[in-house]
Chain A
């Protein structure tokens, strides 16, 4: 680190450099006194601690990777099959999840709108369009963690039979805190991030999730935000 080519900061730098120098000297002194046994302990502790912490981080919550991005959605075709990656299997085992098998259906999740902004409970979203071919589908919304017991559960999602459609078979669902005309999906909580899940049951696209086109999945667009 050079201090000479930063004249504006030169007043503060010698102090920091001095502290760093003293720290470095003390550190080197500690190193010189440390025996081989100490270093071996350090290596083992670093390996075990870092290894366990990263393994816990990677298998906590959602699947770390293996999704296929389709528009705003991420499809998870392999999480339930024999070809699931070790991380997906570990996540399933930790959560007690029973994933959808390939012949059964396909799960798509969304945590961002079509402009890449995180879905939050304070905003209003319109989920519009069509779904890939399936015998039945459900579109549900969930917040992270436990649900608020004070908040009544009016509706958690729509099924393909329940949803009101236009004349051309397309639908538009409004995800908002306040009552809306048409397909109103209430926000599950007052604040914080929310996630959408689209589950397609008995669908031919489960075997080839990579070929689903953007136009075949609903778009998620933010209309307004209460600040």
Chain B
């Protein structure tokens, strides 16, 4: 083979390799990234309420500059609760108020469940996120006479986060929106507590 032919062959091989590298890098970015929402959310795992991610500016307090959402909506307060189902099922409880509230459950691959306050029963919205095994256990332990108002969601992955969004339609509601995000509780449903409850 003459030198030019070899060079062309090498270029062609390089282009094919570039395509493979491109695909591999794009697929690997979500798991390697340290600036993605899941990695940043992990710091909130120890909290028992939603960690504010984007706090709305109110009359005296401007919006924090360290907020990590790239282009946030200036009238929607955002909070986040990270979960790790290895510790037990995650219970997210929100009281609905005058402001529109939505909860979205994100896994590593994206959001797999979302619900707004219109689904609330008597002003309360209770989500329980569990693995398939925990779900089966909860079904087995369930008392048939005891009506549960929980919305049970089976997660395919152990790690993820719940996003709370509260819309402040008017600037005067921003304070209330910030408080509504903080008021959402994210706790680990411990099985012992449930057992004690059903026993007593």
Q: Which residues of A contact B (CB under 8 A)?
A: 28, 31-32, 34, 39-40, 42-52, 54-55, 58-59, 80-84, 86-87, 89-90, 92-105, 135-136, 138, 140, 142, 156-157, 159-162, 197, 199, 201-202
Contact = CB atoms under 8 A, between A and B. Distances in A.
Contact of A93 (B17, B36, B102): B36
4 tightest Cβ-Cβ pairs between the two chains A and B:
A51-B21, A47-B17, A46-B14, A103-B114
Given A54-B22, A96-B69, A103 B115 contact: yes
Interface residues of B, number: 59
Given A34-B3, A156-B74, A159-B167, 13 more contacts: A31-B3, A31-B4, A40-B10, A46-B15, A47-B16, A50-B18, A51-B25, A89-B29, A90-B27, A92-B37, A96-B37, A97-B37, A100-B104
B100 A201 contact: yes
Interface string B119-150: 00000000000000000000000000000000
A59 B112 CA distance: 23
A39 B80 CA distance: 51
A50 B15 contact: yes
Given A50-B18, A89-B109, A43 B73 contact: no
Contacts of A105: 102
Interface of B is mostly: mixed
Interface of A is mostly: mixed
Contacts of B16: 47
B13 interface: yes
B169 A51 contact: no
B53 interface: yes
